[in-house]
Amino acid sequence: MNSRSNPYQRVAIAYSHWGVEEVVSALRESREVTHKIRYLGRIRELPSREAVSSVVHGCAASLFPTHYGHADLTEESIDYFVGTTLSSTLAILVEQVRRALFFVQGREPGTDEAIEAQAVELTRRFAAALPGIRALLVSDIRAAYQGDPAAGSVSEVLLCYPGVSAIISHRLAHELYRLGVPMLARLISEIAHSETGIDIHPGAQIAESFFIDHGTGVVIGETAIIGRNVRLYQNVTLGAKRFPVAEDGSLVKGNARHPIVEDDVVVYAGATILGRVTIGRGSVIGGNVWLTHDVPAGSSISQARCS
């Protein structure tokens, strides 16, 4: 049997031909000694992107079973579906929470048993929050349906709108962020970002009836606070104006640096709002506006016109 018909022999030849043994050795030296970046120098267990994605999908199916679960569920089968889906989802989540707890800044190291117990408790608290999360999401879905004349039904909004997908992920991620599992929350937000083009940091505080229309390119920073009945269009940025630097040259983390958007505000496409500024209630921010100062309630801000 020649090498063309024997895959194992082809692999062996390639191993030798490309000098793979030497490369593997050099990569191990880089990974373990020269350029070691493993968290705390030892943590190998990481949250799984695939597992976290399945948690989001499982939660979405539990919250809206006929839209994200099975379209043919009946009154007799729906509770069973929700129960089994939620149980299997939480079984995956608790392991991801356990792994993510190792990455909480300032956390005191504990025994494996203590970390596992904490993961179980946090997962239980997350599950208990799901009815409240669904109530918020229903307000968001209604806002999308009422706020878009192109929306034909609530089901269309749920199935087709990227802004709704992004806010579902955000509501779930924010609860994990609030419970003290920020790495897992951030992973959920980045999965949503890659799927929708909408980047919402899980730390952002967003009240009910929130609607992102079209959505692509929207960015909402960690310390942003958004009131009730706010609508954003595509390419809106609620970002930081500047990043304070510590004495050692590193960026200062955790300070309030993103906008506060009060109730009933509309921000049109391409607007950029930077810094800890307040956009007053009922204001309208026009397209492509660059804004770095407070705006009183009821304002209408547009680009200056050249004569």
Are 147 and 57 in a shared domain?
yes
CA-CA-CA-CA torsion sign (148, 150, 154, 159): negative
> Are residue 172 and residue 235 in the same domain, yes or no?
no
Query: In the predicted model, is pLDDT for residue 13 greater than 80?
Result: no
| Predicted confidence (pLDDT) per residue in 89-109, tens digit | 999 999 999 999 988 877 666
Residue 32 lies in a domain: no
At how many degrees (to 10) do helices 162-179 and 182-196 cross?
Answer: 170
CATH of the domain at 249: 2.160.10.10
The predicted pLDDT at position 298 comes to 98
Q: How far is residue 122's CA from residue 120's CA, in Å, rounded to a whole number?
A: 6
Q: Which amino acid is at 214?
A: H
From start to end of the chain, where are the E strands? 199-200, 205-206, 211-212, 219-220, 225-226, 231-232, 237-239, 260-261, 266-267, 272-274, 278-279, 284-285, 290-291, 300-301
In a domain, 17, yes or no: no
Share of residues in the chain with pLDDT > 90 (%): 75
Q: Are strands 225-226 and 205-206 parallel, antiparallel or unpaired?
A: parallel
What pLDDT digit, counting tens, does each position of 252-289 carry? 777 999 999 999 999 999 999 999 999 999 999 999 99
Residues 190 and 250 in one domain: no
169/48 same-domain check: yes
- How many domains does the chain contain in total? 2
Q: Is the residue at 35 inside a domain?
A: no
171 has pLDDT over 90: yes
Question: Is this model's pTM higher than 0.85 or not?
Answer: yes
CA angle 262, 126, 260 (to 5 degrees): 15
**In a shared domain, residues 258 and 167:** no
Asked whether the beta carbons of 275 and 292 are under 8 A apart, the reply is yes
